[in-house]
Structure 1
Amino acid sequence: MGSSQESTFSSASTAAQVNANALDLLPVYAKELIAGGAAGAFAKTAVAPLERVKILLQTRTGGFQSLGILQSLRKLWQYEGIRGFYKGNGASVLRIVPYAALHFMTYEQYRCWILNNFASSVGTGPVVDLLAGSAAGGTAVLCTYPLDLVRTKLAYQQWLDQCGLYLFLLHCFKVSNVGQLGNALGASGRQQAYNGIKDVFKTVYKEEGARSLYRGVGPTLIGILPYAGLKFYIYEDLKSRVPEDYKKSVILKLSCGALAGLFGQTLTYPLDVVRRQMQVQRKQAQSTTDGFHITGTFQGLLLIIRCQGWRQLFAGLSLNYVKVT
C-alpha cells in the first residue's frame, strides 16, 4: 500500500514537473500573452460593479445623473440584485483577455523594434516607452473594439429594460408621478433589446453594417494613444526612481502603476465619455434624449459641453480612479 501511495505521489510530481518545463519552453511573448490575459480578466471582474455604474453615468441613463457612487450601487442592488453588478461582464472579460494580452505583448515587441531600429534617433530613455505604449494601445484597441461596443450596449440596455418595466407597472397602477423618469428615458428607452453577445453582433451588423461595430473608435484611439503612452512612460519613469533595495516590492510596483494610470486617465477621460455616448446612440434615431447626435470626436465634445454641461465630460471619473487603481 505504501509503495502504491509513493507511486501516485511520484506520478503527480512528474506531471507537475513536465507542466512546469512546458511553460519554461514557451517564448517570452507567449508567457506575456497568458499572464496579461489572466491578469486583465481577474482585474475586470473585480471592478465590474464600478464599471457598470460608470457606463450608466457616462450615458446619462435615467435616474443616475445626480447620484453618487454608493447611491448608484445601492440602486442597482435594489432593482437588479447581485447579478446587476455583472451584466455585460462576460463581454468585458472576453474583450479584456485579448486586449490586455495584446497590450503587454505588443508593448514589448514594439519596444524592442524601436530600440533595434531607431535607438540613435530616440535614445533608450522614457521616450521609447511612450512610443511603444501608444502603438501597443492602438493595436489592442483595433483588435478588440467590437467587444467593447457589445459590453457597453448590454450594460446600458439592461437598466433601460428594468426602467421600462417599472414605468409600465406604475402606469398599470395609475401612479401619476411617472413623467420625470419617462422623460429621462426618452428615445433611449426604445433602444434595441439584445439577448446576449452574439445577438448584439448580429443585430448591429444586420442593421448598420460592419462599420457600426467600430462606432466610437475615433475618440478611443485619440484617447488610448496618449493614455497608453503616458501610462508606460510614467510607470517606467517612477520605477527608475525607486531605490535599488525596493525594486522588487509589489506594493511599490502597484503604487507606480496606479499613479501612472490615474494621471493618464484624467487627461483622456472626456474622450471616453464621448465614446460611450456614441456607442449607445442609434444611427436610425438621429437624436438622443439631449436632442443631438454625435458624429465625430471633437463635435461630440462640443455638443456635450453645450447641451449637458462640462461636468458631464467627467461623469464617473471618481469611479474610474478606484477602478484604475
Structure 2
Amino acid sequence: TRRAEFHSTGLSGSVSRIAKTEGLLGFYRGNGASVARIIPYAGLHYMSYEEYRRWILQAFPNVWKGPTLDLMAGSLSGGTAVLFTYPLDLIRTKLAYQVVSPTKLNVSRMVNNEQVYRGIRDCLSKTYKEGGIRGLYRGVAPTLFGIFPYAGLKFYFYEEMKRHVPDDYKKSIMAKLTCGSVAGLLGQTFTYPLEVVRRQMQVQKLVASEEAELKGTMRSMVFIAQKQGWKTLFSGLSINYIKVVPSAAIGFTVYDTMKSCLRVPSRDEEN
C-alpha cells in the first residue's frame, strides 16, 4: 500500500527503491511505533487468551472443548489486544508509508503537499487533531474483521498440531517452532485480503486521489478488487510470510516456554 512508484516492482525492486530513496533508515521507518505497540499487544494477546479460555470453560463446561475452544478464545483475545493498541498500529503504518528523501523536505516539512510526520508523538498529535478519537481508530473495522479469524485460526492450528506431536517431542523447541510457523502461515494466508483493506483505509488520507473514499470492509474489498484487480488483495503476501511466520513461531515458543518456567498448570489440567 505504499506509493504508486512502489507498486508492481516486486520484493527486490521495492528493496532497491527504498535503499536509493531513503537509505538504510528507510527499512526501519515506523519501527519505533511498532516496538511500542508489540509489547502491550503481545502481552494482552496471550494473557487474555488464557483468561477467555478459562471463562469459556467455566461458563460452558460441557460444550466448549477441544479446537473450538482455542478458536473462540484466540479470536476474542486478538480483538481485545487490537482495541487497546490500535492507535499505535495506525501511527506505525502512517510513519512507514512516508517515502521521503531528506533533500525533498522544505522548511514547513511538506513533500509534494503531503505532511511529513516527525515521529510517534507528532503523528499521534496531528492524527488526533484531524479526526479526534475516530481518527485514531480509522480502519479498525477491517482490522477486527481480520484479527478475529486470524488470531482464532492461529491458536486453533497451533494447539491442534501440538495434539498430534508424539509425547517424546512435546517439549521440543523445534516441534513448537514448527507448529507455530505453520499456524502463522495458514492463519495469515486465509485472512490477508483483510490486511490489505486495512492498510489502504489507514493511509488513504495521505494519498491525493480522485477515487471514492473507502468505507466499509466488504465494500472496500470489492472496490479494490474491481479497480486494482483481485491480485492486489494478496499483494505483499510473500514478504509478509517472511515477517509473520518466524514471528508466530517465536511468539508461541516463548509463550509455551515461559508458561513452563512460571509453572503455569497444563491446559490438560482444566478447572
Same fold per superposition (TM over 0.5):
yes
> How far 1:288 moved relative to its partner?
4.8
1:152-178 alpha-carbon deviations (Å, 9 max, x no partner)? 000112x0x339939x9xxxxxxxxxx
**Counterparts in 2 of 1:190 and 1:276: CA distance versus 1, 3 Å:** farther
CA-based RMSD: 2.0
Q: Conserved in 1, the CA contact under 8 Å of 2:146 and 2:194?
A: yes
Gaps of 5+ in 1: 1-58, 169-187
Q: Which residue does 1:5 correspond to in 2?
A: none
Q: Which residue does 1:112 correspond to in 2?
A: 54
Q: Conserved in 2, the CA contact under 8 Å of 1:290 and 1:307?
A: no
Secondary structure (helix, strand or coil) at the match of 2:83 reads helix
Gaps of 5+ in 2: 246-271
1:198-257 alpha-carbon deviations (Å, 9 max, x no partner)? 111111111211111000000000110011001001100000000111111111111111
Q: Which residue does 1:281 correspond to in 2?
A: 204
**2-side partners of 1:311 and 1:292: how far apart?**
20
Show the 5 A alignment for 1:280-319: 280-282=203-205, 288-289=208-209, 291-319=211-239
1:52-74 alpha-carbon deviations (Å, 9 max, x no partner)? xxxxxxx1413211212122112
Q: Which residue does 2:14 correspond to in 1?
A: 72
Aligned equivalent of 1:162, options 77, 98, 101: 101
Are 1:214 and 2:137 counterparts?
A: yes
Secondary structure (helix, strand or coil) at the match of 1:120 reads coil
Q: Which structure has the bigger radius of gyration?
A: 1
TM-score by length of 2: 0.84
Q: Which residue does 1:257 correspond to in 2?
A: 180
**2-side partners of 1:98 and 1:281: how far apart?**
27
Show the 5 A alignment for 1:56-67: 59-67=1-9
Q: Conserved in 1, the CA contact under 8 Å of 2:2 and 2:97?
A: no
Show the 5 A alignment for 1:7-156: 59-122=1-64, 124-156=65-97
Q: Which residue does 2:251 correspond to in 1?
A: none
Q: Conserved in 2, the CA contact under 8 Å of 1:292 and 1:303?
A: no
One-letter identity of the residue aligned with 1:105: M
**Counterparts in 2 of 1:199 and 1:295: CA distance versus 1, 3 Å:** same
Q: Which residue does 1:225 correspond to in 2?
A: 148
**2-side partners of 1:274 and 1:316: how far apart?**
12
Q: Conserved in 2, the CA contact under 8 Å of 1:219 and 1:275?
A: yes
**2-side partners of 1:97 and 1:60: how far apart?**
25
Higher helix fraction: Structure 1 or Structure 2? 1
Q: Which residue does 1:44 correspond to in 2?
A: none
> How far 1:316 moved relative to its partner?
0.3
Q: Conserved in 2, the CA contact under 8 Å of 1:290 and 1:308?
A: no
Q: Conserved in 1, the CA contact under 8 Å of 2:197 and 2:217?
A: yes
**1-side partners of 2:102 and 2:113: how far apart?**
11
> How far 1:267 moved relative to its partner?
1.1
**1-side partners of 2:20 and 2:215: how far apart?**
36
Secondary structure (helix, strand or coil) at the match of 1:100 reads helix
One-letter identity of the residue aligned with 1:243: P
